[in-house]
């Protein structure tokens, strides 16, 4: 009778508690632990897929921006004159590849006024030697796309002429 009672108790324990009881005894994860881990893995996979999608969207936008800049430059050649037309600018010592040129001055005071106005506007001005003259470049960047997008905003500044253009550092 005692054997039968022990067997019935063990059978009832198995039926009422399921495999989790034995998994707990064996130090294994329970079905709740497995479900939580599965949910965590699915969330991580969704986050990774969203991150990959975001990176791909940014890559596509950069490509579209680059193509738009190149098309705009091709259509409006005075934004980016050929190097043979702008020789004489001492670009070797400039730390960035592109600048928006807002003026060339023979009078240092005029150049200083434009530099002060550009600095006040947060445009990071730079002096660029041009023979006996001083040119003022703003919005330095190594990205043509970035400097092109800055060009319209710079042209809206009161100190900037409407014919400001992009100076590319020669290698």
Give the rounded distance of the alpha carbon of 97 from its chain centre.
18
Whether 49 has a pLDDT exceeding 90, the answer reads: yes
pLDDT in tens, 97-118: 888 999 888 888 999 999 999 9
Sign of CA dihedral 127, 128, 133, 135: negative
Task: Kindly indicate whether the domain formed by 78-168 is annotated with CATH number 3.30.1330.10.
Answer: no
Over residues 67-88, the pLDDT tens digits come to 676 676 666 655 555 544 555 5
* pLDDT (0 to 100) of residue 117: 92
Over the chain, what is the mean pLDDT? 80
| Predicted pLDDT of residue 61 | 80
Say if residues 142 and 98 touch (Cβ distance below 8 Å).
yes
């Amino acid at each position: 009778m005692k054997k039968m009672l022990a067997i019935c108790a063990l059978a009832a324990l198995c039926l009422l508690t399921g495999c989790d009881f034995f998994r707990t005894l064996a130090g294994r994860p329970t079905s709740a632990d497995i479900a939580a881990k599965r949910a965590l893995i699915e969330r991580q996979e969704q986050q990774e897929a969203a991150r990959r999608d975001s990176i791909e969207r940014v890559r596509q936008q950069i490509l579209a921006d680059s193509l738009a800049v190149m098309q705009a430059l091709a259509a409006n050649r005075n934004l980016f004159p050929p190097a043979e037309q702008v020789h004489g600018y001492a670009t070797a010592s400039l730390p960035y590849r592109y600048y928006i040129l807002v003026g060339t001055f023979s009078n240092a005071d005029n150049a200083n006024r434009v530099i002060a106005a550009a600095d006040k506007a947060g445009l990071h001005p730079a002096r660029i030697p041009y023979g006996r003259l001083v040119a003022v470049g703003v919005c330095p960047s190594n990205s043509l796309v970035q400097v092109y997008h800055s060009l319209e905003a710079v042209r809206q500044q009161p100190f900037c002429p409407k014919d400001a253009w992009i100076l590319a550092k020669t290698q």
